[in-house]
Amino acid sequence: MNDVIGGIVWSLAPTVLVGLLFWAIMRNIVRADRNERAAYARLEAEERARRGLAPKP
């Protein structure tokens, strides 16, 4: 019985680990994009305020 469970664990481990690695990488990419967009929006709002333009909706 232990051989069967061990085989199942060893056969699923690479798939699970690659899936977790992919999830972590995609999570970091999405977070970086969100932070970059927020920073750009902040810069754009500051520039519009400095020039006296109406805020963008």
pLDDT tens digits, 27-43: 999 999 999 999 999 99
In sequence order, what are the residues at sequence separation of 6 or more whose Cβ sits closer than 8 angstroms to the Cβ of residue 22? none
Q: Can you tell me the distance from the alpha carbon of 36 to that of 9, in angstroms, rounded to the nearest whole number?
A: 40
Backbone angles phi, psi at 10, to 5 degrees: -65, -30
In sequence order, what are the residues at sequence separation of 6 or more whose Cβ sits closer than 8 angstroms to the Cβ of residue 54? 48
Q: Global pTM?
A: 0.69
Is residue 1 very low, low, confident or very high in pLDDT (cuts 50, 70, 90)? confident
Instruction: Please tell me the predicted confidence (pLDDT) of residue 27.
Output: 98
